Amino acid sequence: MDVRVPEVPASYDDYRRRVREFVEAHKPELRMKEKAGLRVPDDPEDVAKLRAWVRALNDAGFASPAHSETKLDPYQARVLNEELGRAGVSVVLGNPLVGGAIKLFGTDQQKAFYLPRIASGEHIWTQLFSEPAAGSDLASLQTRGRLDGDGYVVDGQKVWSTWAQFSDYGYLLARTENKPGPAGITAFILDMKSPGVTTRPLREITGTTDFNEVFLDKVRIPVENVIGQPGQGWAVTTASLAQERGGVGSRGAEDSIAGLIRIARATKRAGRPAIEDGAVRQAIARFAARSRIQRALGYRVATKAAAKELGPADAPLTKIWFSELNLEINEYALSLQGPNGALAEGDPLAWQDGRFQDAFLYARAWTIAGGSNEIMRNLIAERGLGLPREARG
């Protein structure tokens, strides 16, 4: 066993310096505050600045390694990821999952046109999957696509689409054949400026707007915008969702744990600092242990991925571990603050301007989105452990 990451050789110091200088010179000053999770600006000016920033990074060869075509050696990719992480500003706009779908199932023309424009920030994408009546049971989606000449005419309603209000394209699932369930679903590339597309931002429990409803009324989509084959949409989606679930939580929650310790030092319980309370110490240590195990589970996934041994239960495991630990840590952070835990952003007495309150509310996005944790448990039990499927209507 060996999980040590080799030190970046000194010969990369110059590369690191160039990236850092570039980041310092081009990093945008945004009006949006840094918050928990994957957040979307509500100011169009911020979006324009972010587009310019991502384009500048791409032109300089410093686009996010996960989404760029630039060939980097592993040390360069690491240095670049570290330096972009330090910037604290998004380097990928919209929902980039469609990239995986196009890479795996797209035509050569689709690959040539869309992939570089995703990397350069020229195109922002949203995902048009969930519907008001099709959440966990995504395969029951009712948005219809009817073949009409050289295109499809699509009617329906989508929801939980991040970035849709600023998106150029949508990664859309619609039923094109009159079959129930996964069969008969087709994946499309939708130009969000098409006539008949209406986007309505949703305000969430956090008070901010990260998601949208999207209404589709007789929207025409040319046949060349199908990803893969008609009726193959479920396979296309499954491949890209697996990437989404596997991507979260491969690090620990060290920052939040340090946050708990700082709150416990600053907060009094019965006249003594909370950090001297045995119950508090036990709780913080249990979270820290689970955070450290989260990191070790990341090593486990990386090892299995390298050996091409990832199973259908592995991404659900990572997702449940991360999202439930994250939720519990943030819940605890509020109770640890005592009555001040009930304050929120904007109050001068709120700890770090309500950072943990926002994270507490946002934490439910992780336990629900990308396949709710209940669905994840079904996947583990049925596909991982081989338990029989339960009766479904």
Partner 1 sequence: MNFAYDEDQRLLRETTRRFLEERHPLAALRPNLETDTTLDRAVWRDGAQLGWTAMLAPAENDGGSVSEQPIVDLIALAEELGRVLYPGPFLAANVVADTLARCGDEAQRKDWLAPLARGERIAAWCASGDGSADASAIAVTATPAGGGLRLDGHARWVHDAHAADFLLVACRAPQGETLALVPMPASGVGVRVLKGLDLTRRFCEVTFSGVQVPSDALLGAPGSAAPALARMANVASVIQAGEAVGAMERLFELTVQHAKDRVQFGRAIGSFQAIKHRLADLWIELEGARAAAHYAALALADELRDREQAVATAGCYVREAASQLAGESLQIHGGVGFTWEYDVHLFLRRAKADQVLYGDPSWHAERLCRLLEAEVKEV
With both helix axes pointing from N to C terminus, report the angle between 254-266 and 355-368 in degrees, rounded to the nearest 10. 140
CB of 392 to partner 1, least distance (A): 11
Of the candidate residues 248, 297, 329, 333, the single one contacting partner 1 (CB under 8 A): 297
CB of 290 to partner 1, least distance (A): 7
Q: Is 378 in the site for partner 1 (CB under 8 A)?
A: yes
Applying CB under 8 A, which part among 2-10, 97-105, 216-224, 225-233 lies near partner 1? 2-10
Q: Is 244 considered catalytic here? A: yes
Q: Decide if 205 contacts 226 (C-beta within 8 A).
A: no
**Interacting residues with partner 1 between 266 and 285 (CB under 8 A):** 266, 275, 278, 281-282, 284-285
**Residue 280 buriedness (CB in 10 A; 0-12 / 13-18 / 19+):** buried
Applying CB under 8 A, which part among 31-39, 56-64, 286-294, 328-336 lies near partner 1? 286-294
Tokens of 15: 């590369």
CB of 312 to partner 1, least distance (A): 12
C-beta of 193 vs 389, nearer to partner 1: 389
Q: How far apart are CA 274 and CA 278, in angstroms?
A: 9
| Beta-bridge partner residues of 134 | 131
C-beta of 292 vs 364, nearer to partner 1: 292
Q: How many other β-carbons are positioned within 10 Å of the β-carbon of residue 263?
A: 24
Of 7, 29, 45, 244, the catalytic one is: 244
Tokens of 36: 């928990």
Q: Which of helix, strand or coil describes residue 218?
A: strand
C-beta of 325 vs 361, nearer to partner 1: 325
Residue 319 parent element (H or E):
helix 314-336
Q: Decide if 171 contacts 238 (C-beta within 8 A).
A: no
Applying CB under 8 A, which part among 86-94, 99-107, 127-135, 312-320 lies near partner 1? 312-320
Q: Decide if 340 contacts 356 (C-beta within 8 A).
A: no
Q: Which of helix, strand or coil describes residue 151?
A: strand
CB of 1 to partner 1, least distance (A): 5
CB of 311 to partner 1, least distance (A): 11
249: left (phi over 0), alpha (psi -120 to 50) or beta: left
CA 102 to chain CA centroid, Å, is: 18
Q: Is 33 in the site for partner 1 (CB under 8 A)?
A: no
CB of 194 to partner 1, least distance (A): 41
Pairing of strands 169-175, 125-128: parallel
Q: Which residues bind partner 1 (CB under 8 A)?
A: 1-5, 257-258, 261-262, 265-266, 275, 278, 281-282, 284-286, 288-290, 292-293, 296-297, 299-300, 302-304, 306-307, 313, 317, 320-321, 374, 376-378, 380-382, 384-391
Active-site residues, by number, are 244
